[in-house]
């Protein structure tokens, strides 16, 4: 639905239109019963940002300490949806999430791609007044060069999360403390933006998957499907499986592997392909692929996000 709205010509770009429409949908649902969304927390982090971007600010957002808690909340019915980080463009896949997808009954129903853009936030309005910068250690590494160039000699101190860093910066009364984090941290804690996009490497993006207890709606004509499988222990099994998709003109956009938790030196593979599981070509390919696997499980089909 959002993809259709983004494609309508008008004075606003697609992203702005989608953002407005998302808030309308979110508020409308909240008047009935707020959509309950479990996400990796705490508040004012990129997980929180991704949840707001997908479900709007009127959703009932429940921060969780681990991805395992997100899965559990949706599986037990405590949340309608779960949002988990799946992979990062510079760091690769999130192995904890890959492992949970093997056994969970949940289905992938959507995805959110979030640019990892860091912002320098403070109660102060002057960069020259900053004497201490708080952020998560990983974030400190991602912004090290910018901080060294623009805040030389300023102490960079660790925080348990970027959300916590923003909270501490908001409590500062001296005007000398700043935090590094996503833009939503400034909104949550009402901090001033001293600098935008201070990450050292541009183009860093994290993909989040949206999980639900039931499958997404039918095919839209622009979908992708994910499966997990384990192949039979014989020469050429993986080649034959890949050929099952090629002969049915189903494009494989991603393949990743993880050690199986069931047997030493056994591996499970995760594949993403173009198309919806209800489409004939995808069904034929999966049927043929199943001949070469010990087990094969469809993780879900969902619409490809608009660019």
Domain shared by 62 and 208, yes or no: yes
Q: Quote the number of domains for the chain.
A: 3
Domain around 42: 34-116+204-212
Q: Please state, in angstroms and as integers, the Cα–Cα distance from residue 111 to each residue in 76, 161, 188, 204, 209, following that order.
A: 21, 23, 24, 16, 4
Domain shared by 101 and 41, yes or no: yes
In a domain, 292, yes or no: yes
In a domain, 8, yes or no: no
The pLDDT value given to residue 4? 60
Q: What CATH number is given to the structural domain containing 71?
A: 3.40.190.10
In a domain, 110, yes or no: yes
The pLDDT value given to residue 7? 60
Domain shared by 107 and 169, yes or no: no
The pLDDT value given to residue 264? 77
The pLDDT value given to residue 22? 56
Domain shared by 94 and 155, yes or no: no
Residue segments in the chain with a per-residue pLDDT below the cut of 70: 1-32, 307
How far, rounded to the nearest angstrom, does the alpha carbon of residue 70 sit from its chain's CA centroid? 13
Domain shared by 64 and 84, yes or no: yes
Is residue 276 a contact partner of residue 301, using CB atoms and an 8 Å limit?
yes
Using alpha carbons, select from 235, 303, 292, 251 the residue that is nearest to residue 269.
292
Domain shared by 148 and 181, yes or no: yes
Domain shared by 149 and 94, yes or no: no
Domain shared by 111 and 208, yes or no: yes
- Which of 180, 212, 244 terminates a domain? The answer is 212
The pLDDT value given to residue 261? 80
In a domain, 13, yes or no: no
The pLDDT value given to residue 28? 58
Domain shared by 82 and 187, yes or no: no
The pLDDT value given to residue 256? 95
Beta strands per DSSP E along the chain: 36-40, 60-64, 81-88, 92-93, 107-115, 119-122, 132-135, 155-158, 177-181, 192-195, 205-212, 223-231, 252-259, 267-274, 293-303
Using alpha carbons, select from 302, 289, 261, 292 the residue that is nearest to residue 103.
261
Q: What CATH number is given to the structural domain containing 259?
A: 3.30.70.260
In a domain, 71, yes or no: yes
Question: What are residue 165's phi and psi, to 5 degrees?
Answer: -60, -45
- Measured distance CA(86)–CA(95) in Å, rounded: 8
């Amino acid at each position: 639905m959002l993809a259709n709205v983004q494609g309508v010509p008008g004075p606003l770009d697609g992203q702005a239109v989608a953002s407005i429409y998302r808030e309308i949908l979110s508020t409308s649902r909240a008047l009935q019963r707020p959509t309950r969304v479990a996400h990796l927390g705490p508040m004012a982090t990129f997980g929180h940002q991704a949840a707001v971007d997908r479900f709007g600010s009127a959703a009932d957002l429940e921060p969780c300490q681990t991805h395992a808690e997100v899965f559990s909340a949706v599986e037990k019915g405590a949340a309608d949806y779960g949002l988990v980080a799946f992979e990062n463009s510079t760091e690769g896949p999130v192995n904890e999430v890959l492992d949970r997808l093997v056994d969970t009954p949940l289905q992938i129903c959507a995805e959110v791609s979030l640019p990892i853009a860091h912002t320098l936030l403070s109660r102060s309005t002057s960069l020259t007044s900053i004497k201490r910068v708080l952020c998560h250690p990983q974030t400190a590494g991602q912004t090290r060069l910018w901080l060294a160039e623009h805040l030389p000699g300023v102490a960079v101190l660790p925080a348990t999360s970027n959300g916590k860093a923003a909270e501490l910066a908001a409590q500062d009364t001296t005007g000398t403390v700043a935090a590094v984090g996503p833009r939503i941290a400034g909104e949550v804690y009402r901090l001033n933006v001293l600098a935008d996009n201070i990450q050292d490497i541009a183009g860093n993006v994290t993909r989040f998957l949206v999980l639900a207890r039931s499958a997404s709606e039918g095919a839209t004509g622009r979908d992708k499907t994910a499966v997990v499988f384990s192949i039979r222990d014989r020469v050429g099994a993986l080649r034959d499986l890949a050929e099952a998709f090629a002969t049915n003109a189903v494009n494989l956009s991603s393949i990743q592997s993880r050690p199986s938790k069931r047997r030493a030196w056994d591996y499970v593979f995760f594949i993403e392909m173009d198309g919806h599981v209800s489409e004939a070509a995808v069904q034929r390919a999966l049927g043929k692929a199943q001949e070469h696997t010990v087990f094969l499980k469809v993780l879900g089909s969902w619409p490809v996000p608009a660019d």
